[in-house]
Amino acid sequence: MSSTLLSRRDLRFLLHEWLDVCRLTERPRYAEHSRETFDDVLDLAERLAVEHFAPHNRAADTSEPTVSGGRVRMIPQVKAALDVFARTGLLAAGMDESVGGMQLPHVVSAAAFGFLQAANVGTSAYPFLTLGNANLLLAHGSAEQVDTYVRPMVQGRFFGTMCLSEPQAGSSLADITTRAEPQDDGTYRLFGTKMWISGGDHELAENIVHLVLARIPGGPPGVKGISLFVVPKILVGTDGALGARNDVTLVGLNHKMGYRGTTNTLLNFGEGVHRPDGRPGAVGHLVGPAHQGLAQMFHMMNEARIGVGAGATALGYTGYLKSLAYARQRPQGRPVGDKDPTAPQVPIVAHPDVRRMLLAQKSYVEGALALVLYCGRLLDEERTAPEATDRERAHLLLDMLTPIAKSWPSQWCLAANDLAIQVHGGYGYTRDYDVEQHWRDNRLNPIHEGTHGIQALDLLGRKATMDGGAGLELLLETIRATVGRAWKADGEAAELAARLGAAVDRIAATTRRLWGTGDPALALANASVYLEAVGHVVVAWMWLEQLLVADTAPPDADPDFYAGKRQAARYFFRYELPRTTAQFDLLDSLDSTTLDMQENWF
């Protein structure tokens, strides 16, 4: 199957020629798999995306969910697609066989899910959130919670959410006020309001499993007093049967610029509209120890952050492929040197500026896809590498890359969508073509699961300094290893290696410069610039890795594909990596312009 969602040829290159995912089948967890099963999963995902997710993408956008009589209404195609998805078993692709999973490598399941995100990011959000919810409970929940909630989620009978933000707190989780009052039977009753809850209410499944951050009275202030609770929309008995409606009430839906097919809700817990056992309060079950809720929720949040980067990549990628197809089909104008007005028009792909825009998109989306899949491969190493030191190394490197994998695709694949609209010209600004919706959908990704600024503070303020800078040193060491291989390869690879090596040195020097002041406010004032510069260096690394693989391909093996890889790498090093020089210069100057700006000067 050939679609304009993701490139199967690029996935084959990244998964097999670069990341060599088949080597994972030598490990016990993945021993039942092979190249054939990996390809079959990708085939299934692409077919599901093309036949069931993509056809209603526009309809879900133009006919977004509404509330009537306290119930959420949406077009029926959403549930129909999710029912088909549940039957495929793809939701549990990476989970243990003991809970109904396939034990597929995460890197392969992430590639497969990318087709669904590219086809219909609004519908794919429901299983996306459910998967993260289930994985958190598998890591931190009790055996009873796994049996009661995870197994039905794996089967597609229950869907899941994450409930963090509150109207008065936003991203500042230290300020949440939802409280959880302990009960004699070991449960808790929750009271409070949660905002921006994606998938917070619908009738797509039998039940919705909310993971809710709340405070147990008497606990420590700030984030140290936050606990995590399972709060189902409908109570579940010990035998798994559905019981009474829990005291969780839909207050309203937020109407978004994009992602319109995903309900985004304001929920009240403990309002008293529904009264389990005749009393107000949403019945919840503590997950793990009390006051460890934020650390536990980060299990889902970090997974979601990389997933957001993957979704941004998918939207950027499909926009690129659609603008490429349009540029090859749309005749307009003639070459600059052709003065004959009677000569036939040429496809716009023949014009250098259109090729510039397409090449920029290609460098962004293929670089982002490489980064996302590399992170997936690290997760597999963290789980299954035979040596403990290798597992620890993968964990540390993945931790370091997470804010970049979330934010870089969210910024630059959105830029790719912007260029896709430009390639379409006036048509791109209409609803007649998909690219305008892709841009609107992708515009959410720099915001949710931690804004661009929050990821910047995480990278510079936490990740770059944790364990005495061990994570940053590991990242730079890993990039330098690629630089060393490229030096040995000589030729163009060595030339690009010199540029990348210099950029890596700038990261190290700039980080020392920023933290050498002893002034955290000054160091972090331009954290977003730091995130963008380091992100560009990381993606340049991804491109050098791809170039090295392309340069070792047999001369007669798909020459156009490999030539395209080399040209995209050249573009990124010549047009994109140089941006970082000015950014590092600004950071090194310890500029305080933004810090010194006063509120009343605006």
Report the SS3 class of residue 135.
Answer: helix
Dihedral sign computed on CA atoms, order 142, 82, 29, 5: negative
**Sequence-ordered list of residues with C-beta below 8 angstroms from that of 289, at least 6 positions apart, any chain:** none
Encoded tokens for 578: 């140089």
CA 111/CA 115 separation, integer angstroms: 7
**What's the chain's length in residues?**
602
CA 301/CA 545 separation, integer angstroms: 28
Catalytic residue among 46, 449, 545, 576: 449
CB atoms within 10 A of CB 143: 7
CA 351/CA 355 separation, integer angstroms: 6
**Sequence-ordered list of residues with C-beta below 8 angstroms from that of 243, at least 6 positions apart, any chain:** 234, 235, 236, 237
Going by the DSSP 8-state scheme, the letter that residue 160 receives in this structure is E
**Secondary-structure breakdown of the chain: helix, strand, coil percentages, each rounded to the nearest 5:** 60, 10, 25
CB atoms within 10 A of CB 127: 22
User: Do residues 189 and 281 make contact, with C-beta atoms less than 8 angstroms apart?
Assistant: yes
Active site residue 144: no
Residue linked to tokens 């793990």: 288
Task: Calculate ∠ Cα 41-45-48, nearest 5°.
Answer: 140
Encoded tokens for 428: 């791109």
CA 378/CA 371 separation, integer angstroms: 11
Helix boundaries (H) for 276-429: 293-329, 352-384, 388-424
Report the SS3 class of residue 147.
Answer: helix
CB atoms within 10 A of CB 244: 14
**Which positions are annotated as active-site residues?**
449
